[in-house]
Every structure is written in structure tokens, then in C-alpha cells.
């Protein structure tokens, strides 16, 4: 966990959606350092409110519930929704309808900054021998990636029409350690994730900015040149795991789509619940 003195900026009330999920568990105790009150939300059990926390259960697909959730909120870290490849119906409810409800609530309640957990699967069908930047066209690798591409477009529209600023973070592999050779390029440490989210919250002017969420890995397919104004400077690197990972996976099957495309296994996952 980082030193809260990295920034003197403190929000009166910050909302964290998806607080019961994997990354929600990681960021929940960390974000409290940057706000007077942290409102946490999910449909799953969130336990007992810690000091300085508010717990509010809300279904993203319920527009009325989202209006209540955003009331009095200065900024949002939006991790809520479906985070894996699934059938279309739940993705539609949480990641499409839920996103519209979130932004409509932000517009009506006067919230002006959202940090949106997008995904590297927005560009999953680029090859692993390509380096891409944030202004290249989306190539989603499934319904999940498609829904995140929609979220980025929605954020762009709400910035252009209503002045709600968003940083869309195309999160790579946010795990304690990379699991395979692909993740040597996509890995982001939990500390770097915190650095990135906080940078996205406090950057003075962001409009709608897309940024890839990765640590300072030696190998990478992603170029964040167009997001330098966010001020994110990763410190950690997957290289400390490289020897172990390469020993565990010495050979790559170049006929395997998961080894060919940046989306990895997601490019082969069923999208219809088979």
C-alpha cells in the first residue's frame, strides 16, 4: 500500500463500485487515504463498514438505485459489472445498461470525474507481435471486450456532451504475479494499479483519456504516449518473475490463438454460455 502523502488531494466523497470483487478488495483499503468518505457498493456481501466508509448495495441495471448511489459523490472508481467472458444477457445488463445508468446518474447528480475499469480485451485481437497505442481502433476478443469498448465510447460521448471527465483504464493482468509468458507483457502490480487509479483521479484535466494499465515491464505491446498527461509512472516490473515463468513455460505453441493474439485465452472462450 502506498503512502497517502503521495498526493495532498482528498475528495470529500469517493465511490468505489464492484468493491466486493478481486480488485475491489485490493483498492478498497487503499482508496480511503484519498477521500474523507469512501462509499463502497456491490451486490455481494461487503462486510462491515470500516471507519470513514459507507456501504450501499446497488444493482447497476437499476436506474433508480444508481441515482441514489451517485448522490453526493465527487468522483467514481467504477470496477462494477461483469469482468469475464460470459453469455450476452448478464453482460448486457451490467456492462451496457449498467454503464448508461451510471453515467446518467453522474450527469444528474453532478459527478464530474469517473475512473472506468476498461480492459485490455478491447484490443484482444491485435497480434502479440504488434505494438498498439490508445488511438488505434478497437478489436475486442468477445462480448466482454465488446462491452468495454462500448463503455469507452459512452465515456467519450458524456465528455463531449456533458463535460463528465473519464479515464478509461484498459487493465492488463492485475495479479500478485504473472502466471504465464503472455502476462510478462500485460502484468500490473497492485501498487502500480493504485498509482494509476490515483493518477487518473487527481490529474487536473483528462477529458476522456484511454490508458493501458501495465507495470514497467521489459516487454510490452502497449504504448501510452497519448496518456502521458495523466502522470502515471509505474515502478514495478514483471521482470523479477521472468526466469521462473520462462522455466515453467519454455515453449510457445505458435498455432495456438491464445499465443498469437494479445487477448490470450479470451480469444478462444465461448461467448454464448456453451
Inform me whether the pLDDT recorded for 155 exceeds 80. yes
Q: What is the 3-state secondary structure (H, E, C) of 21-84?
A: CHHHHHHHHHHHHHEEEEEEECCCCCCCCCCCEEECCCCCCCHHHHHHHHCCCCEEEECCCCCC
Please pick, among 34, 126, 144, 261, the residue that the annotation labels catalytic.
144
> For residue 69, is it within any domain?
yes
**Residue 274 belongs to some domain of the structure:** no
Residue 80 lies in a domain: yes
Give the model's pLDDT for residue 1.
62
Q: Is residue 243 part of a domain?
A: yes
- DSSP, collapsed to helix, strand or coil, labels residue 191 as helix
Calpha distance 242→237 (Å, rounded): 10
Catalytic residue flag (residue 261):
no
Q: Which domain holds residue 64?
A: 4-268
If phi > 0 it is left, if psi is from -120 to 50 it is alpha, else beta; for residue 214 that is beta
Residue 270 pLDDT: 72
Using alpha carbons, select from 128, 137, 79 the residue that is nearest to residue 265.
Answer: 128
In a domain, 98, yes or no: yes
Please check the confidence at residue 53 and state whether its pLDDT lies above 60: yes
First to last CA, the chain: 40
Helices (H), 110-182: 143-162
* Alpha carbons 140 and 252: distance in angstroms, whole number: 23
Q: Would residue 44 count as lying in a domain?
A: yes
Number of domains in the chain: 1
CATH number of the domain where residue 251 is located: 3.40.50.720
User: What's the pLDDT band for 167 if we cut at 50, 70, 90?
Assistant: very high
pLDDT 10s digits, 226-236: 999 999 999 99
Domain annotation covers residue 66? yes
pLDDT tens profile 97-122? 999 999 999 999 999 999 999 999 99
In a domain, 273, yes or no: no
Q: Are strands 222-223 and 132-133 parallel, antiparallel or unpaired?
A: parallel
Q: What is the mean pLDDT of residues 43-64?
A: 96
Instruction: Kindly indicate the confidence band of residue 274, based on its pLDDT and cuts at 50, 70 and 90.
Output: very low
Amino acid at each position: 500500500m502506498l503512502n497517502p502523502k503521495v498526493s495532498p488531494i482528498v475528495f470529500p466523497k469517493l465511490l468505489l463500485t464492484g468493491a466486493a470483487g478481486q480488485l475491489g478488495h485490493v483498492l478498497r483499503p487503499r482508496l480511503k487515504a484519498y477521500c474523507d468518505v469512501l462509499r463502497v457498493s456491490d451486490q455481494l456481501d461487503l462486510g462491515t463498514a470500516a471507519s470513514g466508509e459507507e456501504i450501499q448495495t446497488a444493482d447497476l441495471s437499476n436506474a433508480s438505485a444508481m441515482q441514489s448511489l451517485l448522490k453526493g459523490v465527487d468522483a467514481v472508481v467504477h470496477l462494477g459489472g461483469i469482468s469475464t467472458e460470459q453469455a450476452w444477457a448478464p453482460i448486457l445488463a451490467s456492462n451496457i445498461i449498467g454503464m448508461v445508468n451510471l453515467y446518467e446518474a453522474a450527469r444528474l447528480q453532478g459527478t464530474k470525474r469517473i475512473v472506468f475499469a476498461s480492459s485490455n480485451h478491447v484490443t484482444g485481437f491485435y497480434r502479440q507481435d504488434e505494438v498498439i497505442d490508445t488511438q488505434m481502433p478497437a478489436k475486442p476478443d468477445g462480448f466482454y471486450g465488446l462491452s468495454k469498448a462500448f463503455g469507452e465510447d459512452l465515456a467519450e460521448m458524456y465528455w463531449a456532451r456533458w463535460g463528465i471527465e473519464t479515464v478509461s483504464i484498459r487493465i492488463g493482468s492485475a495479479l500478485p504475479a504473472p502466471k504465464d509468458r503472455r502476462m510478462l507483457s500485460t502484468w500490473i502490480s497492485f501498487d502500480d494499479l493504485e498509482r494509476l487509479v490515483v493518477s487518473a483521479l487527481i490529474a487536473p484535466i483528462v477529458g476522456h483519456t484511454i490508458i493501458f494499465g501495465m507495470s514497467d515491464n521489459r516487454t510490452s505491446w502497449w504504448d501510452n504516449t497519448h496518456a502521458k498527461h495523466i502522470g502515471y509512472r509505474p515502478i514495478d516490473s514483471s521482470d523479477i518473475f521472468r526466469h521462473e515463468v520462462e522455466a515453467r513455460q519454455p515453449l510457445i505453441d505458435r498455432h495456438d490463438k491464445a499465443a498469437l493474439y494479445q487477448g490470450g485465452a479470451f480469444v478462444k472462450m465461448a461467448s454464448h454460455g456453451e
